[in-house]
Amino acid sequence: MTVAEQSAAVQPADVVTVTVDGIDVRVPKGTLVIRVAELMGIEIPRFCDHPLLDPVAACRMCLIEIEGNPKPQPACAITVTDGMVVRTQRTSEMADQAQEGVMEFLLLNHPLDCPICDKGGECPLQNQAMTAGRGTSRFEGHKRTFPKPINMSAQILLDRERCVSCARCTRFAEQIAGDPMLELLERGAEQQVGIGPDAPFDSYFSGNTIQICPVGALTSSLYRFRARPFDLVSTPTTCEHCASGCSLRTDVRRGVVNRRLAWDDPEVNEEWNCDKGRFAFQYLDRGRVETPLVRESGGLRVASWPEALDIAARGLAEARGRTAVLTGGRLTREDAYAYSKFARVTLGTDDIDFRTRVSSDEEARFLASQVAGMPMGPTYADLDRAPVVLLVGLEPEDESPIIFLRLRRAARKNSVPVVVMSPVRTRGTDKMRARWLPCRPGDEASGLAGLSQADPGLVAQLSTPGAVILVGERLAGVPGALSAAAALSASTGARLGWVPRRAGERGALDVGALAGLLPGGRPVDNPQARAEVAAAWRIPADAMPSAPGRSSAQVIDEVLSDVGRAARDEPRVYDALVISGLDVADDPRADDLRRALEGVPFLVSFATHHSEVTEQADVVFPVAVVSEKAGSFTDWEGRTKPFSAAVRGAQTITDARALAMLADVMDAPIGSGDVGSLRAEMDALGRWNGPRPSAPDDRPAASTEGTALATWRLLLDRGRLQEDEPHLAATARPVEAVMSESTATALGVAGRSTVMLASDRGSVELPLRIDDVADGTVWAPLYSEGCDLQALGLRHGSAVSVTGGAA
Amino acid sequence: MATPLTPVITAHWDVPDLFTLEGYRRTGGYRALPKALGTDPDAIIGTVKDTGLRGRGGAGFPTGLKWSFVPQGDGKPHYLVVNADESEPGACKDVPIMMANPHALVEGVIISAYAIRANHAFIYIRGEVPQAIRRVAAAVREAEQAGYIGTNILGSGFDLRVTVHSGAGAYICGEETALLDSLEGFRGQPRLKPPFPAVAGLYSVPTVVNNVETITNIPWIINNGVEWFRLFGTEKSPGFKVFSVSGHVVRPGIYEAPLGITMRELLEYAGGVRDGGRVKFWIPGGSSVPMLTEEHLDTPMTYEAMAEIGTMLGTGTPMVFDETISVVKSVTRWLEFYKHESCGKCTPCREGTYWITEVLERFEHGHGQDADLDLLNEVCGHIMGRSFCALGDAAATPYPAAVKLFRDEFVAATRTPVDESYPPAAGYVFSAVGAR
Amino acid sequence: MALDEGVRVQMAAIVERYPRSRSAVMPLLHLAQSAEGELTDEAMRIIADALDLTTAEVAAVATFYTMYKRRPVGKHLIGVCTNTLCGLLGGDAVYDALSDRLGVGHDETTADGMFTLERIECQAACTHAPVMTVDWEFMDCQTPTSALDVVERLARGETVVSTRGPEIRDFEATEHTLAFPDDGLANQGGEADAIMLAGLRVAHELGMSAPPVPGQEP
Ligand SMILES: Cc1cc2nc3c(=O)[nH]c(=O)nc-3n(C[C@H](O)[C@H](O)[C@H](O)COP(=O)(O)O)c2cc1C
Ligand code: SF4
Ligand code: FES
């Protein structure tokens, strides 16, 4: 909340009057002097102050005069009291002198290497030296020097001589991220930022330290010496990596994204983001599909747009009604909407699914009843003061880092109780000061269902207004879990938040890129719903598919069965597939999907990058990556965050535009496909107000026998969008198997340094670590370097064989 | 009428086994404890308030008042922390107290903890004085064995644990909030105040931090009462003080006398300046307070009188220098000390001491520049009152005081190395007469 | 750190003293030095593990305090106070003499690993200037001659007794004392020395004493 918002919200009793530079203002009691001055447009110079960090008043740059106090006081640490009279450097000689003195001290040992410094041009030290400093230095001694630069991690570099010891980075690491791996070392003039012996600053949030460093001391391997601020064109954007919904700033130099920063969005990411969002963008320019391609004598050749459109149109027209659309979870809301419409209008099918991950029919029913097209909420702000937040099947530090930061702050600042029902007590659990409810993988459903018996205290907390339950992606693979979560929410009144992993999932769901659901959460089998959509789309209501289509899993099954059907001369269910940005390896049934892609007679791919899909496609259309287009993502809260193209004048077109062109050629138009008209259409449609299907009521499955696998995707893993980021990859968490002491003993692997996890399809050897894990369970990352568990046919809750590896 | 010496804390230091429980008891030790435990804690706080006892750690804050800031009945644990980090250049009174009479400190700790309702007390002793640490630790163990520390002490229902903690070489850890951070296992850097330790101290709960000498006063206050205590000293500076007199005096050592004694009197007791020489400059309470000259020898050593002449009583540990000593070199050494001990947290102290030291070292070698004389004053002015804690203020103290009194000497050091003007050997206490 | 079971037990005993385990970091660092004569990376890792801290947090503390040594210290750590009072009253000469004799400068160790020499700050012993410490035990009122004699005797393996403490052992032994101060040596070093008693003796000579408690016999 800004000071202004706060003042609007509080009672007059909490408001005090202070005078700053002769002007009276009324502000909430307890506001810091420096914030009051900001509110009034008075800039007090500062280095250590940061509105989101606890004050330290270490740099002494912000000294101001407070009437009645003989010594200048740090504006960043003094809270206002009624009647306080403050004089800043503008009206106080004392303050001005003090600031000038501190600035001179700061520059004493500073190398003044601005011409070769990354921060030059956007440097608080540089700027404030101009406003608050003296023209020349009176110091004639030897400046402190350090050997240049040292690695804090593979990604973060430190030039120690530039550091002003403001401790922003170290406070960020400790307070915000909860990763005190970056610390002040040594003492006095030797004081410097550093890491522990052989213990790099491998925090998921490390990049934020670069951004808040008020000098050029911290830089990234990725950006160091790459550009100067005045060469860059900056655009506010929304992060495409996960469903946290971070506002970013994308800096482009000559058409190439050079850097991404966190943008201040107080309601979402505040001023932070994770390292994936900050550093993983090389993919934007690598391995791109640049022209349309068509299949010819077994290979792909370059084709013109008209030719490619023509071939695709013919193939799809023949397959009308026998085509399915798989969109992946990464589309913008606008593009997803175009697929939704294209499928129904042009292809005459309801067989569309955005899920390339573990999914289920239960999940689809859960989403239809609880999430699709629902108003926003619960929100980040709801987490700040919730009486309790229960997480199930969600490891926010890996799967939605901004939720993690919010919950950590809520716990730290507001003592919000966080409870994690999970097989593993992770570092993240501790950093959120969370209570760990151990739960074997696969037992989440019974765990939730049995909560009122097992933990009535928690159920009582959940029944307090404002309580929140957050469920994650992997619950889709646990029969009965989403049903149980919905039931718990219904019985307690706790608000339920569904946290998908990918940025495009919530938007795709809301606009109907899921079989059975039309835009706004309209059930396809509801005539009224169909009529509303048909009217908006200007097609006859009876032209709309009226029965719910098939999910991606069912599509894959049918395409595989089609091979047999064809052999038996029976009609195929599918003659064509339309596929957008998905990575085959992301699918839990990647091998089946591969065979389906090979087996389907006609495959149209809209692709940003060459992939296993484009390799099999009959027609490939090149489409724009997120930096080249306008669009929006809807975050897990249901908040839609629009953005415009960061790379101006890119020649690429969006999925939506390409679909529109194709629809035109097929004579079943869906509009122009431009962002403005798509948004207008979606807005006009609005959300469904009619009846919704009831929540699923699936039964829990029996507990997994033997050793159950707990798994999820680490934030930094083999994800396609993280390709070509060696520095980032080097900061990933270790790939290892984790289990409890007693499990290790029971399995006879205690004392082993590695273990083998095996399925009937193969095995993987991983280092073993003993930690707090539910008994009878082993945890390993789903899709990390050297550990692709889905390829072994394993998923969260699977039975897995564990044997000892190296001694 | 000359002020007499009044040994109280030091009265039995010549008893050979005073540092043992046995020896301390024989001299009347641990008589205050049962008396205190039979008294209401608030009454003890009231008594200490009434004595007007002021903290002996340097700042002179009224001890009883500090104790009364501890919120009572707040349901939180409270802690007593004894500041035994004595590292101020010139100060050497707490270490001798701990070596000679550790049980008096321990008895004071138990009573003080009882008064502020602390069930755990810490004695933070600088690490460089193992013999003092041993003696205090042994005293604590003996007191435990005697039932003075532990559960239900002397049947009073009062429980106390005492932990002796060794520092590791950092002057700043004498600053009370830095000490608390250090004791919590962090770097010893000072904390933002408020909140003050009495409200949020060790582990963020109410904590009293007191100096060794302050706490050692307590048993006598309990035994002998307010009226007796106020027989010593002045209205604003009541009580007795353990003065450590060091430097060029005939008999350096520990002299206990009422506050208000003059330096001339102390000097006389100490046999005067060695070799019949003259006082060139002296410092009443550690290098952090401004230096004085002969002309101030008759000012009473009280908090108020010292303040009036522009200095401070500080730790009450006078250092005396005769005319063989270079002021330039003395100040340079002290600044090297402050530079070495600056914690690094705040800019003025960290960078300012770096700057001043560089310039002063040029003076020491006869390379000072005239313009530097004022520049240094300005730099000190940019530290004074602007640093995070009082260490910065202390670092900004020696030079302005010295240049005011001995400007010529600094001017001379723009041409002549100080070792030429002041041959070092002349200052050595073994130069003429050999080792003492 | 030579991490035998014994050290583990000692670590646990230290942690026990404090309401929160992190407070034990300083004594544990002393303990580590007593085991290895310096503070190694490995020791910091072990302490970090024991206290559930990052190694950076341990390093932040270890590098702040001057008594923690990140390089091997000689068998004996010789400190000479060269702060103003001791230094100008003769500590400088004592330091120079030792430096010449040992052939090392500040914070350096003799090739035979016997001695590390340091300039140290004020030791709260100004009345006993010039002050030297051996393994942090007081060697008060030194002259260059007496200091050299101490070093010679230590070099020959002869007994040297602190002027106000026990017989000199070695650096590691003192570090162990700092972790476990109750080492049985508290009674060594005897009563207060003449300097500490200076005032009391004058008072006795002059018949001075503190006033009696009002209403009580003196
Ligand atoms: C840099 C610095 C060093 C200090 N060193 C000591 C010290 O070694 N011993 C001490 O008792 N007080 C020291 N103090 C004062 C303490 O902060 C605090 O005022 C004192 O311990 C309170 O105890 P008292 O009220 O009994 O004097 C120091 C203060 C500063 C700023
Ligand atoms: S004045 Fe500043 S740098 Fe110096 S010791 Fe205090 S906080 Fe640290
Ligand atoms: S900004 Fe206030 S002290 Fe640094």
Contact B131, C168 (CB under 8 A): no
CA of B61 to the centre of ligand 1 (A): 10
Tell me the average pLDDT of chain B. 97
Give the orientation angle of helix C25-36 with respect to helix C171-179, to 10 degrees: 150
What value does the mean pLDDT take over residues A224-229? 86
pLDDT in tens, C184-194: 999 999 999 99
Type and span of the H or E element at C108: strand C108-109
Predicted local confidence at residue A666, as pLDDT: 98
Contact A278, A300 (CB under 8 A): no
Closest CA to A398 of A140, A184, A719, A138: A719
Best mutation target among A48, A59, A60 (most B Cβ atoms within 10 Å) is A60
Contact A530, A542 (CB under 8 A): no
Position A7 confidence tier, pLDDT thresholds 50, 70, 90: very low
Instruction: Examine the pLDDT at A3 and tell me if it is beyond 70.
Output: no
Instruction: Examine the pLDDT at A236 and tell me if it is beyond 60.
Output: yes
Position A278 confidence tier, pLDDT thresholds 50, 70, 90: very high
Instruction: Examine the pLDDT at B434 and tell me if it is beyond 50.
Output: no
Percent of chain B predicted with pLDDT > 90: 97
Instruction: Examine the pLDDT at A755 and tell me if it is beyond 50.
Output: yes
B283: phi then psi, degrees, rounded to nearest 5: -130, 120
* Residues B140, A778: Cα–Cα separation, whole Å: 50
Give me the interface pTM, i.e. the ipTM: 0.96
Predicted local confidence at residue B209, as pLDDT: 98
CA of B175 to the centre of ligand 1 (A): 5
Encoded amino acid at A331, one letter:
L
pLDDT in tens, A566-621: 999 999 999 999 999 889 999 999 999 999 999 999 999 999 999 999 999 999 99
Position A771 confidence tier, pLDDT thresholds 50, 70, 90: very high
* Segment among A12-21, B41-50, B341-350, C8-17 with least mean pLDDT: A12-21
Position A130 confidence tier, pLDDT thresholds 50, 70, 90: confident
Chain C residues with beta carbon closer than 8 angstroms to that of B94: 124
What value does the mean pLDDT take over residues A491-514? 98
For residue B19, give the DSSP letter.
T
Chain C residues with beta carbon closer than 8 angstroms to that of A185: 59-60, 63-64
Predicted local confidence at residue B433, as pLDDT: 38
What value does the mean pLDDT take over residues B334-362? 98
Instruction: Examine the pLDDT at C17 and tell me if it is beyond 60.
Output: yes
pLDDT in tens, A694-734: 999 999 999 999 999 999 999 999 999 999 999 999 999 99
C13: phi then psi, degrees, rounded to nearest 5: -65, -35
What value does the mean pLDDT take over residues B259-282? 97
Chain A residues with beta carbon closer than 8 angstroms to that of C55: 195-199
What value does the mean pLDDT take over residues B314-335? 98
Instruction: Examine the pLDDT at B261 and tell me if it is beyond 90.
Output: yes
Position C216 confidence tier, pLDDT thresholds 50, 70, 90: confident
Contact across the interface for A199 and C57, Cβ inside 8 Å: no
Type and span of the H or E element at A614: helix A612-616
pLDDT in tens, A240-262: 999 999 999 999 999 999 999 99
Position A321 confidence tier, pLDDT thresholds 50, 70, 90: very high
| DSSP class per residue in A173-242 | IIIII--TTSEEES-GGG-EEE-BTTB----TTTHHHHHH-SSSSEEETTTTTT--GGG-EEEEEE-SSS
With b for 16 or more beta-carbon neighbours within 10 A and e for fewer, the A780-789 pattern comes to bbbbbeebbb
Chain A residues with beta carbon closer than 8 angstroms to that of C57: 180, 183, 196
Give me the residue from A179, A187, A197 closest to C59, CB to CB.
Answer: A197
Residue B349, classed as helix, strand or coil, is helix
pLDDT in tens, A132-147: 888 778 988 899 999 8
Predicted local confidence at residue C217, as pLDDT: 66
C-alpha distances out from residue A607 to A331, A579, A604, A612, B61, Å: 11, 8, 10, 11, 75
| DSSP class per residue in B354-376 | HHHHHHHHHHHTT---HHHHHHH
Give me the residue from A56, A106, A188 closest to B344, CB to CB.
Answer: A188
C-alpha distances out from residue A309 to A313, A651, A665, B336, Å: 6, 18, 7, 80
Residue C53's CB is within 10 A of a number of other CB atoms, namely 21
- Residues paired with B161 in a beta bridge: B120
Measured from CB, residues less than 6 Å from any atom of ligand 2 are B 172, 189-190, 342-346, 349-350, 387-389, 391-392
Residue A592's CB is within 10 A of a number of other CB atoms, namely 17
A632: phi then psi, degrees, rounded to nearest 5: -160, 155
Q: Searching chain A, which residue's CA lies closest to the CA of residue B349?
A: A188
Task: Write down which chains contact chain C via at least 3 CB pairs under 8 A.
Answer: A, B
Lookup result for tokens 């030296």: A129
* Residues A385, A390: Cα–Cα separation, whole Å: 13
Burial of C2 (0-12, 13-18, 19+ CB in 10 A): exposed
Position B235 confidence tier, pLDDT thresholds 50, 70, 90: very high
Predicted local confidence at residue A124, as pLDDT: 93
What value does the mean pLDDT take over residues A212-219? 97
Position B436 confidence tier, pLDDT thresholds 50, 70, 90: very low
* Residues B11, B7: Cα–Cα separation, whole Å: 5
Predicted local confidence at residue A2, as pLDDT: 46
For residue C81, give the DSSP letter.
E
Instruction: Examine the pLDDT at A438 and tell me if it is beyond 90.
Output: yes
Q: Which spans in B128-197 are helix H? A: 130-145, 176-183
Instruction: Examine the pLDDT at B189 and tell me if it is beyond 90.
Output: yes
* Residues B69, B211: Cα–Cα separation, whole Å: 17
Contact A661, A667 (CB under 8 A): no
Percent of chain A predicted with pLDDT > 70: 98
For the record, the structure tokens of C5 come out as 């079971």
B211: phi then psi, degrees, rounded to nearest 5: -75, 155
Higher pLDDT: B57 or A9? It is: B57
* Residues B25, A48: Cα–Cα separation, whole Å: 54
Contact A472, A394 (CB under 8 A): yes
> Model-level pTM?
0.96
Position A9 confidence tier, pLDDT thresholds 50, 70, 90: low
A567: phi then psi, degrees, rounded to nearest 5: -60, -35
Contact B247, B287 (CB under 8 A): no
Instruction: Examine the pLDDT at A371 and tell me if it is beyond 70.
Output: yes
pLDDT in tens, A387-414: 999 999 999 999 999 999 999 999 999 9
Position B435 confidence tier, pLDDT thresholds 50, 70, 90: very low
Predicted local confidence at residue A12, as pLDDT: 64
Instruction: Examine the pLDDT at B431 and tell me if it is beyond 90.
Output: no
Contact A592, A560 (CB under 8 A): yes
